[in-house]
A and B are shown apart, each in its own frame.
Chain A
């Protein structure tokens, strides 16, 4: 019978260092096959949260259950179903890519001799298989880190900033890989990132974390409803634009070399605004409807309180 229990169930997780709460009563659940992204600025508490999930840091209070088993000291067998990458990827520099992976394979008790070769191919590391890890570029070192996390085909993958150091092609590749893992193989993924656009394209759910607090959880399908459309206009004679819009009863705010109008009438009928400006003798040089992106929404959420 298929399990419907959450793969990650963190309850009221808190980590305090003296008076500082690095993570403050965070509760979150990740369902099977879900890609959950922890989104936050540097120092928001993402890595501390991930280290608590992985049993590396003991919570001051609260508890974590992964794949139905409570994370506790000495419960080492549970890690055979979990893959992870925490912060900057590291490898033994004097060992080759294959040897580094063989080290992980042995410590994970893998018996399939093809495991190393398969993950090398999957992560696009074949050309570097015999290279010493110390000579890898940052991007390939990141691939090696991901290969170490995926070598044992885990049911749950926890990745801290997985796109760090990758070029745009690499980012797209890793995105495709994680999506494939989740959609085709039912692997659950929790990742942290500060790359907003990437998270929006990858995650099924986003948890915004700031100053150790989980501020909001957003399903990616709801992102569209959070975005506010705006009309951005510019013309050669900016003053005349402002005057024409004011006379037409449209509230506009200056934005760079033009103006931004949030009035629904203008956003729905930008052609009317164009006609208005032409009639006022200041034909638009730019007229574009934009939407608040996740970045704007996110920055508003985490702005100093």
Chain B
């Protein structure tokens, strides 16, 4: 397992994926910072028209609580897209680039290779969560946001990492789509469909039982007045993660690899 993880880590490290994911999530944190910058001065927010209006939708005022909330919410939705694309790359590339066949008859079993991909992906996604938090701290400090407290900072970290964990679990089926579909497109398609449906189902009021809506509800994207997902919602997220990983490993092990 250690060898397979090292191999997957090398493949990821030498690709553009780490930089692209860092860039994407940096933009998320910077946009949040921009909103806080606008909200810090209401006059300036109104003067900036639409952007000001958007910033007002994100939060009513610029402080640490609002910024941590924004980061968690953005991580819930943006993370789904970024992590989904990363998982699509991790698995779909083996088929798009024709390297999958070289992984199928080795002393290192196919299940181990699939597990190594998930391990490397999950570790990187958690690192990304930590990075967004640290970048958020730097941006918030640079903006001089009011309302700082140690308790708030820990709670903000907890919420951000919890959304990262949930999002990581929810992109596991993307691996199955990219594998069974033998390329990038099916994975991307699955991810887009999941993000789209999450918005619709949440708007209809059933988000607490639709796993892909759960991180957004948990992070407060639907508003503080909406109730939290509940045990069933979290259990479904766990089920999607475990089931997606198992189904992917099972497909690699059992399906005919004839292309």
Q: Given the complex of chains A and B, what is the CA–CA distance between A111 and B49 in angstroms? A: 64
Q: Given the complex of chains A and B, what is the CA–CA distance between A173 and B15 in angstroms? A: 33
Do B14 and A84 touch (CB < 8 A)?
no
**Within 8 Å of chain A (Cβ to Cβ): is B226?**
no
Do B105 and A107 touch (CB < 8 A)?
no
- Residue numbers in B under 8 Å from A80 (CB-CB): 107
Binds B, one of A2-10, A26-34, A69-77: A69-77
Q: Given the complex of chains A and B, what is the CA–CA distance between A58 and B104 in angstroms? A: 13
Distance of A67 from chain B, by nearest CB (Å): 13
**Within 8 Å of chain B (Cβ to Cβ): is A91?**
yes
A58, A77, A86: the one within 8 Å of B107 (CB): A77
Do B3 and A54 touch (CB < 8 A)?
no
**Contact of A54 with B105 at beta-carbon distance under 8 Å, contacts A103-B11, A107-B7 already known:** yes
Query: How many interface residues does chain A have, given as a range?
Result: 20 to 34
Do A107 and B108 touch (CB < 8 A)?
yes
- Residue numbers in A under 8 Å from B146 (CB-CB): none
Q: Given the complex of chains A and B, what is the CA–CA distance between A74 and B254 in angstroms? A: 10
**Within 8 Å of chain B (Cβ to Cβ): is A275?**
no
Q: Given the complex of chains A and B, what is the CA–CA distance between A91 and B103 in angstroms? A: 11
Chain A binding surface, main DSSP class: loop
- Residue numbers in A under 8 Å from B105 (CB-CB): 54-56, 79, 82, 84
What 0/1 pattern do residues 221 to 259 of B give for CB contact below 8 A with A? Answer: 000000000000000000000000000000001101110
**Contact of A93 with B97 at beta-carbon distance under 8 Å, contacts A57-B258, A103-B10, A109-B3 already known:** yes
What 0/1 pattern do residues 94 to 106 of B give for CB contact below 8 A with A? Answer: 0001110111111
Q: Given the complex of chains A and B, what is the CA–CA distance between A76 and B104 in angstroms? A: 9
**Within 8 Å of chain B (Cβ to Cβ): is A297?**
no
Do B256 and A94 touch (CB < 8 A)?
no
B10, B113, B258: the one within 8 Å of A48 (CB): B258
Do A95 and B107 touch (CB < 8 A)?
no
**Within 8 Å of chain A (Cβ to Cβ): is B109?**
yes
**Contact of A76 with B97 at beta-carbon distance under 8 Å, contacts A51-B258, A95-B11, A148-B102 already known:** no
Do B102 and A104 touch (CB < 8 A)?
yes
Do A87 and B101 touch (CB < 8 A)?
yes
**Within 8 Å of chain A (Cβ to Cβ): is B4?**
yes
- Residue numbers in B under 8 Å from A90 (CB-CB): 97-99, 101-102
Interface residues of B in 134-149 (CB under 8 A from A): none
**Within 8 Å of chain A (Cβ to Cβ): is B152?**
no
Residue of B nearest to A160 (CB): B101
Q: Which of B10, B11, B256 has the most CB of A within 10 A?
A: B256
- Residue numbers in B under 8 Å from A87 (CB-CB): 98, 101
Do A57 and B107 touch (CB < 8 A)?
no
Q: Given the complex of chains A and B, what is the CA–CA distance between A110 and B15 in angstroms? A: 25
**Within 8 Å of chain A (Cβ to Cβ): is B6?**
yes
- Residue numbers in A under 8 Å from B97 (CB-CB): 90, 92-93
B3, B10, B14, B257: the one within 8 Å of A56 (CB): B257
Q: Given the complex of chains A and B, what is the CA–CA distance between A108 and B102 in angstroms? A: 11
Interface residues of A in 2-57 (CB under 8 A from B): 48, 51, 54-57
B15, B98, B103: the one within 8 Å of A88 (CB): B98
Residue of A nearest to B116 (CB): A107
Do A54 and B104 touch (CB < 8 A)?
yes
- Residue numbers in B under 8 Å from A48 (CB-CB): 258
Q: Which of B11, B103, B106 has the most CB of A within 10 A?
A: B106
- Residue numbers in A under 8 Å from B15 (CB-CB): 94
Q: Given the complex of chains A and B, what is the CA–CA distance between A104 and B4 in angstroms? A: 10
Do A108 and B256 touch (CB < 8 A)?
no
- Residue numbers in B under 8 Å from A51 (CB-CB): 257-258
A79, A86, A95: the one within 8 Å of B10 (CB): A95
Do A55 and B104 touch (CB < 8 A)?
yes
Do B258 and A108 touch (CB < 8 A)?
no
Q: Given the complex of chains A and B, what is the CA–CA distance between A57 and B102 in angstroms? A: 14
Q: Which of A74, A76, A80, A108 has the most CB of B within 10 A?
A: A76
- Residue numbers in B under 8 Å from A79 (CB-CB): 105-107
- Residue numbers in B under 8 Å from A56 (CB-CB): 101, 104-105, 256-258
Q: Given the complex of chains A and B, what is the CA–CA distance between A107 and B113 in angstroms? A: 9
Do A57 and B3 touch (CB < 8 A)?
no
Q: Given the complex of chains A and B, what is the CA–CA distance between A104 and B106 in angstroms? A: 9
Residue of B nearest to A104 (CB): B102
Do A92 and B106 touch (CB < 8 A)?
no
Q: Given the complex of chains A and B, what is the CA–CA distance between A67 and B109 in angstroms? A: 19
Do A108 and B106 touch (CB < 8 A)?
yes
Q: Given the complex of chains A and B, what is the CA–CA distance between A108 and B97 in angstroms? A: 21
B6, B10, B108: the one within 8 Å of A109 (CB): B108
Distance of A107 from chain B, by nearest CB (Å): 5
Residue of A nearest to B113 (CB): A107
Q: Given the complex of chains A and B, what is the CA–CA distance between A91 and B113 in angstroms? A: 16
Task: Rank and list the top 4 A-B pairs by shortest CB-CB distance, nearest first.
Answer: A90-B98, A56-B257, A76-B109, A106-B3
